[in-house]
Amino acid sequence: MMVVCEALAFYVKEEFVMTKKILIVGASGRVGRELMDILAQDAHYEVFGTSSHVSDNQHFIQLDLHADFETIRAALVGFDIVYFTAGSRGKDLLQVDLNGNVKVAMAAEQVGVERFVQLSSGSALDQTKWQEAHFASLQDYNVARYFADQWVLQSTLPYTILQAGSLLEAEPTGKVVLTPVNQTGKLLVSEKTAAKGNTIPDVAQVLAELINYPRTAGTIIQMKNGDAAIDTALAEI
């Protein structure tokens, strides 16, 4: 019995040690909420989200992206994986989408996170695409995304940048096309879909699964709905 108990204690200890502490910056947003729900179902993860307001939810910490760098850095201490999914939806592009993003990335770099996953937008790094009709109303947003993404690319972070197409409030399809992109925003392989967008639940699922694929670290990935199962598409990156 003693041997069994000792073995069980060892197993439990290993499980605890292997637990990853995850912070989702922007967990009150459309994608962030879905992502938090998905990750919270995995017993290997201890998941927390940020909110600019005080919350009674013990899994939320208050963090305003207008805060100074040291405040943001202190909030990230102790986390293994950080997601940035925050966005102002055009209302506060400089303070949230650009400077808030950069401050979080800088803090993540300084505290030494294992993975940093950033949600961006399709063609954010390719300014030649911005003149297309599809992006006409997103000029200022793409400027903010471009410079925030550029800061991450020049950092030492183990980053993954997911460039999602238009966010669609629809049921998940579980089917996607994931295309690797270089640092100038050019596709590294021919695109396999004419789709322009992706459902919000599918985006959240891809974000959640990314951290299970080490090869996606140091990559920029464009995402749209397509024909491949999410795990299959990620395995091919």
Q: What is the bridge-based pairing of β-strands 197-199 and 115-121?
A: unpaired
Q: CA–CA separation, 1 vs 4, rounded Å?
A: 5
Residue 108 inside a domain? The answer is yes
pTM: 0.89
Residue 74 inside a domain? The answer is yes
Residue 3 inside a domain? The answer is no
| pLDDT tens, position by position, 29-41 | 999 999 999 999 9
Q: Which domain covers residue 103, as residue numbers?
A: 18-235
Which pLDDT band holds residue 123 (cuts at 50, 70, 90)?
confident
Q: CA–CA separation, 61 vs 208, rounded Å?
A: 20
Residue 38 inside a domain? The answer is yes
pLDDT at 13: 31
Q: Taking 60 as the threshold, does the pLDDT of residue 163 lie above it?
A: yes
Q: What is the bridge-based pairing of β-strands 228-229 and 197-199?
A: unpaired
Q: 14 exposed, middle or buried (CB, 10 Å; 0-12, 13-18, 19+)?
A: exposed
CATH number of domain containing 84: 3.40.50.720
To the nearest whole number, what is the mean pLDDT of the chain? 90
Question: How far, CA to CA in Å, does 145 sit from each of 7, 13, 45, 115, 158?
Answer: 50, 41, 28, 19, 19
Residue 136 inside a domain? The answer is yes
- In single-letter form, the type of residue at position 49 comes to G
Residue 1 inside a domain? The answer is no
Residue 9 inside a domain? The answer is no
| pLDDT tens, position by position, 54-79 | 777 889 999 999 999 999 999 999 99
Mean pLDDT, rounded, for 118-136:
88
| Domain total in the chain | 1
What 3-state DSSP class applies to 48? Answer: strand
What 3-state DSSP class applies to 171? Answer: coil
| pLDDT tens, position by position, 179-220 | 999 988 888 877 666 577 899 999 999 999 999 999 999 999
Residue 6 inside a domain? The answer is no
